[in-house]
Amino acid sequence: MTNATLNQPLCEVSMKEHLQAARLNYPRVSEIIHPYSRMGFENIDMEVLANACERGTKVHAICKALMDGYFIPSIDEECKPYIDSFNLWMGENKFTAMESEKRYYDDENKFTGQIDMIVKQDGKTILYDIKTSATKSKAWPVQLTAYAHLIMLGGTKIDSVAVIQLKKTGKKPTIHQYEDLTEYGRLFTGLLLNYNYFLRKKEKTNDN
């Protein structure tokens, strides 16, 4: 027990530690929608997909650094066009960054998600997700709706959600904005129910 917790009731400390441990096992939003977000990629070589995921991770890290005001002296050639595309978006939009790459939790439904960025723009609080894939996915608004739910549990009202689809050519990105999230919320609820039945139940069965 650390000095910071010495003045707290023991039961309160124990509950917090238990919650932190439980959260390590929460599935991510991307994990819950994974069976459907990968539809159409069945015939793509796994190594190609792995490389694309690795590139996407690098691009996200650089975009976060740029959002935080850091100067990036050197960027991988593979990532550079996507960063050029992101810089075009940043240069054309006035906004105030609120959060970036932050993880949120739903302790009642037991799932988690890490958002790309929340900004204040034109008087609205907007949740943006950065994508590097060339093809638009039906899973995007479902994923963003789940993220918006997690954020609002923490007390922040989200007015709109959008995807910034960066271009491999380095050109201006395509913005996909989603306003009415009701149907996407229903879809995610169904996916979460499926996950709980087929995967969480299976995990418990394996432990017995």
Within a domain: 75: yes
The predicted-structure confidence for 10-57, as pLDDT tens digits, reads as follows 455 577 888 888 899 999 999 999 887 765 545 555 565 567 778 889
Within a domain: 42: yes
Which residues form the domain of 156?
A: 27-202
The predicted-structure confidence for 92-101, as pLDDT tens digits, reads as follows 999 999 999 9
Within a domain: 197: yes
DSSP secondary structure, 19-36, as one string: HHHHHTTPPBHHHHHHHH
pLDDT at 208: 47
Least confident range of 13-22, 77-86, 135-144: 13-22
Within a domain: 82: yes
Give percent above pLDDT 90 in the chain.
67
pLDDT at 5: 47
Within a domain: 72: yes
Within a domain: 188: yes
- Number of domains forming the structure of the chain: 1
Neighbouring-strand partners of residue 164: 130, 175
Give percent above pLDDT 70 in the chain.
84
> Is the confidence at residue 162, as pLDDT, over 60?
yes
Within a domain: 57: yes
Within a domain: 21: no
Pairing mode of beta strands 174-178, 160-165: antiparallel
CATH number of the domain where residue 168 is located? 3.90.320
SS3 111: strand
Tracing tokens 């739910």 back to the chain, one arrives at 149
